[in-house]
Amino acid sequence: MLIKLLEVLSGERLPKPTRGRMRIHCLENVDKALQFLKEQRVHLENMGSHDIVDGNHRLILGLIWTIILRFQIQDIIVETGQADQKETHSAKDALLLWCQMKTAGYPNINITNFTTSWKDGMAFNALIHKHRPDLVDYTKLKKSNPTHNLQNAFNVAEQKLGVTKLLDPEDVFTENPDEKSIITYVVAFYHYFSKMKQLAVEGKRVGKVLDQAIETEKMIDKYETLASDFWMTLWLCTPSSVRQTLVSSG
């Protein structure tokens, strides 16, 4: 399962898993996964295959977070708005900056972290509204009704965007929201909207190609019409010359 997860997230092929359910088989497969992570320069401190196979919850959760950080967050790129200029930040800082840029100008929002800044649900709704204003009526949301705001954002994200509902309102509207959980969920928003933007750009490119093809077709039709008219006019004016030309070319 760990090997398959890494293949899906990284897009690369890992060594084929060893078949079998014995402990030795499990250790071999986990070793293959950990070796791949080391080759990807993922830091695995004090972690061995036996820790995972033996069910060390703390280390397993740490491994999952490390994988998310490496393959889901690290590739975040922040465009500053200036042509051909992109800034490089740490994974978490880049994601935070992206959220700040997308929610800039929205009332009642000041994102400074991945904990308390999300408690009232306004930031989640603003992210959705920024990219899909047809899905959220932001003006009707009230900061004083966090549970409704959170539920609205989570439902819209799952039902309209296909973003899996990883959190419940009570997970966020609490004194100390879990930072890693919120980051993981926000990353899903980032990847969805980035893909949406990429598809829009590709759509525009396809549109330009089609426009050029249509224009070329029109030019060909125009050329054929002009050529036909030219030969018809020439035939009417000097039929013998045209006949001689056709005979010579034949």
Q: Over 124-179, what HEC string results?
A: HHHHHHHHCCCCCCHHHCCCCCHHHHHHHHHHHHHHHHCCCCCCCHHHHCCCCCCH
Answer whether residue 209 shows pLDDT above 80: no
CATH superfamily of this structure's domain 78-196:
Calponin-like domain (1.10.418.10)
Specify the pLDDT at position 88.
Answer: 46
Phi, psi at residue 142, to the nearest 5°? Answer: -120, 130
Mean pLDDT of 124-141: 96
Domain ranges of the chain: 2-73, 78-196
CATH class in words for 2-73: mainly alpha
Please tell me the predicted confidence (pLDDT) of residue 195. Answer: 85
Rounded to two decimals, the pTM is 0.61
Note the pLDDT tens digit of each residue in 210-228: 566 666 667 766 767 776 6
Looking at residue 223, its pLDDT comes to: 66
Task: Compute, in degrees rounded to 10, the torsion defined by CA atoms 230, 232, 235, 237.
Answer: -70
Q: Which segment, 30-39, 148-157, 177-186, 206-215, is predicted with the most confidence on average?
A: 148-157
**Mean pLDDT (whole number) for 168-193:** 93
The 10s digit of each residue's pLDDT in 98-125 is 999 999 999 999 999 999 999 999 999 9
Predicted local confidence at residue 84, as pLDDT: 47
